[in-house]
């Protein structure tokens, strides 16, 4: 792959390169260079790499910067063309195997930025047939620093993923709940508060609550998404735009927009952008709220489908796999349980991001790699789990009409309809007597000769919803 002079150790082939710290051995097949190699050796921590979406965003930035640097006369057209081609290979995922730095790396993501710079530089040099040496810092990183490109890559990656995947997933979930709400609007059932009997309601009404909260989160996320369109390219090290062409920022953001088809813009205050991780922190709070609501919804559905003989059993879930290694035929609410687990992870990730946000000092937050990993992974986890929840659970829910009717008729809360007729105290006595004698409200009223036509109408659940 890389045409460099190779040295031989006693056992393995390698190529010898050097940086400001001296010589270092690198695999002859790797496009990355000495700074990446040092990071690989120094940070053998988790084996976790930043995701494809972030690497793609790095490629978008490097290609955009090279294009503008050529236009402004800062970079030769031949070099710029080679850098752009290599960057586009990064965008397409052709060089992913060369992005090898652990998430838990040197602060601010310098190693990650140099990983991209070195891969693109060596690939661009190869594209030129070795006729010109593309330098990772002088050419690929021209008009940039880690401090402005890393948070910009994060915002680009998050904005693209939310636009293309998470928002469509939420919309599909909302639509599935709406379909089920409409389908089950005629099904009467007992409501429940404090996990005890509540007044009657429609199953469709219950599900409409889920529809509405998902829609609300969708709108919130759209608003949060707008803040991610701020990218600080051109801020350089601390926001002062040192060594930068005056027309660079406007042109490079325009180039990013052409490549992503999204409306990225300059930050309101470049120094605030460099100092803080406002956009990921705020957006992550919305993802945490989404996780909280999904836990509530999936917990509800697990209760409503509990049984099938010893629980509420008001709804049935589509069977997707056996649920027990010892109880034949047992089916568990596996998709709901999976979703709950994902949401627990996302809530934990929000805490990690909030804690990392506290680590900002003076002109930069050095915890950016951790924030990038947890934020982008949260988006990916929620997207995948929501699509799975919609397709393999919600759209297959069926109502158990007879069980809904049974629990509703047995509910002591029906006595609520008697308060306007008999008064609260007498209605309470009737409810307590029904509970003590294990009878329905109607049975107690009938035994006492109180079951008049007015009361029969009042106790009709259709008149109570």
CA 175 to chain centre: 19
Whether 137 and 152 map to the same domain: the answer is: no
Q: For residue 7, is pLDDT > 50? A: no
261-287 burial, b for 16+ CB within 10 Å, e for fewer?
A: eeebebbeebeebbbbbbbbbebbebb
123 Cβ neighbours under 8 A, 6+ residues apart: 31, 86, 89, 95
Choose one of 87, 119, 142: the last residue of a domain.
Answer: 142
Asked if the structure places residue 177 within a domain, the reply is yes
Whether 44 and 89 map to the same domain: the answer is: yes
> What is the distance between the terminal CA atoms of the chain, rounded to a whole angstrom?
71
Instruction: For 327-377, write each residue's pLDDT tens digit.
Output: 888 989 999 999 999 999 999 999 999 999 999 999 999 999 999 999 999
432: domain CATH number? 1.10.40.30
Structural domain boundaries enclosing 451: 411-463
Residue that wins the pLDDT comparison between 79 and 411: 79
Whole-angstrom Cα distance, residue 35 to residue 40?
9
- What is the share, in percent, of the chain residues with pLDDT greater than 70? 97
Whether 92 and 222 map to the same domain: the answer is: no
Q: For residue 427, is pLDDT > 90? A: no
56: domain CATH number? 1.10.275.10
Domain count, the chain: 3
Whether 358 and 450 map to the same domain: the answer is: no
Whether 294 and 394 map to the same domain: the answer is: yes
Catalytic residues: 194, 324
Whether 120 and 199 map to the same domain: the answer is: no
Whole-angstrom Cα distance, residue 345 to residue 389?
16
Whether 121 and 200 map to the same domain: the answer is: no
Whole-angstrom Cα distance, residue 96 to residue 30?
11
Asked if the structure places residue 119 within a domain, the reply is yes
Asked if the structure places residue 387 within a domain, the reply is yes
Whole-angstrom Cα distance, residue 408 to residue 190?
4
Instruction: For 215-246, write each residue's pLDDT tens digit.
Output: 999 999 999 999 999 999 999 989 998 989 99
Asked if the structure places residue 368 within a domain, the reply is yes
Choose among 196, 187, 433: nearest CA to 312. 196
Whole-angstrom Cα distance, residue 437 to residue 4?
90
Considering only CA atoms, give the Rg of the chain. Answer: 30
Asked if the structure places residue 112 within a domain, the reply is yes
Whether 270 and 285 map to the same domain: the answer is: yes
Asked whether the beta carbons of 275 and 242 are under 8 A apart, the reply is no
Q: For residue 406, is pLDDT > 90? A: yes
Instruction: For 197-217, write each residue's pLDDT tens digit.
Output: 999 999 999 999 999 999 999
Whether 388 and 267 map to the same domain: the answer is: yes
Instruction: For 276-290, write each residue's pLDDT tens digit.
Output: 999 999 999 999 999
Q: What share of the chain is helix, strand, coil (3-state, %, to 5)?
A: 60, 10, 30
Whether 166 and 202 map to the same domain: the answer is: yes
Asked if the structure places residue 66 within a domain, the reply is yes
326-342 burial, b for 16+ CB within 10 Å, e for fewer?
A: eeeeebbbbbbebbbeb
Instruction: For 86-143, write each residue's pLDDT tens digit.
Output: 999 999 999 999 999 999 999 999 999 999 999 999 999 999 998 999 999 999 999 9
Choose one of 402, 431, 450: the last residue of a domain.
Answer: 402
Whether 228 and 115 map to the same domain: the answer is: no
Asked whether the beta carbons of 121 and 136 are under 8 A apart, the reply is yes
Q: What does the pLDDT read at residue 9?
A: 41
Choose among 80, 79, 56, 78: nearest CA to 66. 80
Whether 387 and 437 map to the same domain: the answer is: no
Asked if the structure places residue 224 within a domain, the reply is yes
Whole-angstrom Cα distance, residue 235 to residue 244?
9
Residue that wins the pLDDT comparison between 171 and 423: 171
159: domain CATH number? 1.20.200.10
Asked if the structure places residue 1 within a domain, the reply is no
Q: What does the pLDDT read at residue 2?
A: 54
Alpha helix (H) residue ranges in 330-423: 334-357, 368-392, 401-410, 419-422
Q: Is 276 helix (H, G, I), strand (E, B) or coil?
A: coil
Choose one of 363, 381, 402: the last residue of a domain.
Answer: 402
């Amino acid at each position: 792959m890389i045409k460099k002079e190779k040295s031989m150790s006693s056992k393995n082939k390698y190529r010898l390169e050097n940086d400001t710290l001296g010589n270092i051995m690198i695999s002859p097949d790797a496009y990355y260079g000495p700074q990446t190699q040092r990071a690989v050796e120094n940070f053998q921590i988790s084996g976790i790499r930043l995701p494809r979406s972030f690497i793609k965003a790095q490629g978008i930035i490097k290609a955009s910067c090279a294009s503008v640097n050529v236009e402004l006369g800062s970079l030769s057209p031949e070099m710029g063309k080679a850098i752009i081609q290599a960057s586009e290979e990064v965008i397409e995922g052709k060089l992913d195997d060369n992005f090898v730095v652990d998430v838990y790396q040197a602060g601010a993501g310098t190693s990650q930025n140099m990983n991209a710079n070195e891969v693109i530089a060596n690939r661009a040099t190869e594209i030129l047939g070795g006729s010109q040496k593309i330098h990772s810092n002088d050419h690929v990183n021209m008009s940039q620093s880690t401090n402005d490109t890393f948070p910009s890559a994060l915002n680009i990656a998050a904005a693209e993923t939310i636009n293309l995947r998470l928002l469509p997933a939420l919309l599909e979930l909302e639509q599935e709940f709406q379909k089920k709400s409409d389908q089950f609007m005629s099904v009467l059932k007992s409501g429940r508060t404090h996990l005890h009997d509540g007044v009657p309601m429609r199953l469709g009404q219950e599900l409409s609550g889920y529809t509405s909260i998902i829609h609300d989160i969708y709108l919130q996320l759209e608003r949060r998404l707008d803040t991610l369109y701020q990218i600080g390219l051109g801020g350089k090290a601390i926001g002062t735009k040192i060594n930068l062409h005056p027309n660079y920022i406007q042109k490079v953001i325009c180039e990013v927009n052409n490549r992503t088809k999204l409306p990225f813009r300059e930050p309101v205050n470049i120094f605030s952008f460099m100092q803080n991780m406002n956009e990921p922190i705020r957006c992550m709070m919305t993802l945490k709220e989404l996780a909280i609501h999904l836990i509530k919804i999936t917990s509800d559905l697990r209760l409503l489908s509990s049984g099938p003989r010893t629980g509420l059993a008001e709804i049935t879930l589509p069977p997707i796999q056996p649920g027990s290694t010892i109880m034949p035929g047992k089916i568990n609410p596996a998709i709901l349980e999976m979703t709950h687990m994902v949401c627990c992870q996302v809530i934990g990730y929000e805490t990690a991001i909030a804690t990392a946000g506290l680590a900002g000092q003076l002109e930069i937050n050095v915890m950016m790699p951790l924030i990038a990993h947890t934020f982008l992974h949260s988006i990916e986890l929620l997207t995948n789990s929501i699509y799975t929840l919609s397709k393999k659970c919600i759209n297959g829910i069926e109502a158990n009409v007879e069980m809904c009717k049974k629990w509703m008729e047995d509910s002591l809360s029906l006595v609520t309809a008697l308060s306007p007729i008999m008064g609260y105290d007498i209605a309470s006595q009737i409810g307590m007597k029904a509970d003590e004698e294990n009878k329905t409200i109607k049975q107690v009223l009938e035994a006492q000769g109180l079951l008049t036509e007015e009361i029969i109408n009042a106790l009709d659940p259709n008149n109570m919803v």
